[in-house]
């Protein structure tokens, strides 16, 4: 019996760049036969350039509250965080397959705003995943993530995909 994954990608801010919108739309379309994918954007908090650490924390907390409000109680939460575990594409595929096998077919990947994720959201996360120690724009990270989810689904079905 085929297990259908229900995957949410929760993000802070609106995606504006056409090339990113088009790239993400292409992978969402490709994912159709493999998983139900839902992209959820929450508004970003207006943040001036020179904020104090306390002000930065307030921004993260407000954005975090918006993200947490979108998460169901039974959703497996993967927080994208620079200090998270670094996996190969095959490890991501294996993790998603294992979650589905054990009935955890609702997974949410959470991408924070430019200041990162709130401590409350990080506590709610079941795991932290890093795509490397370099900082990537959070809007570009959406495209990278959706491509990796697609790649993972292909790997799990034993289908070819460029290495």
Binding-site sequence positions for S-adenosyl-L-methionine: 80, 112, 131-136
Q: Assess contact for 69 and 15: CB atoms under 8 A.
A: no
Residues 6+ apart with CB under 8 A from 4: 35, 36, 105
**What is the rounded distance in angstroms from the CA atom of residue 120 to the CA atom of residue 63?**
11
Reading the block at residue 106, the tokens are 């609702």
- The residue count of the chain comes to 163
Annotated binding site: 80, 112, 131-136
**What is the rounded distance in angstroms from the CA atom of residue 44 to the CA atom of residue 120?**
17
Task: Tell me how crowded residue 3 is: count the other CB atoms within 10 A of its CB.
Answer: 13
């Amino acid at each position: 019996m085929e297990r259908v994954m229900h995957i949410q990608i929760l993000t802070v801010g609106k995606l504006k760049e056409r090339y990113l919108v088009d790239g993400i739309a292409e992978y969402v379309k490709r994912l159709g036969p493999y998983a139900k994918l839902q992209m959820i954007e929450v508004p970003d908090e207006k943040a001036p350039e020179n904020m104090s650490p306390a002000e930065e924390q307030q921004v993260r907390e407000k954005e975090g509250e918006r993200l947490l409000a979108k998460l169901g109680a039974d959703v497996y939460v993967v927080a994208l965080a620079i200090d998270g575990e670094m996996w190969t594409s095959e490890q991501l595929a294996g993790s998603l397959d294992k979650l589905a096998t054990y009935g955890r077919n609702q997974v949410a990947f959470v991408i924070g705003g430019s200041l990162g994720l709130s401590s409350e959201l990080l506590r709610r996360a079941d795991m932290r995943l890093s795509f490397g120690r370099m900082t990537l724009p959070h809007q570009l990270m959406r495209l990278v993530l959706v491509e990796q989810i697609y790649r993972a689904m292909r790997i799990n079905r034993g289908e070819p995909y460029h290495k």
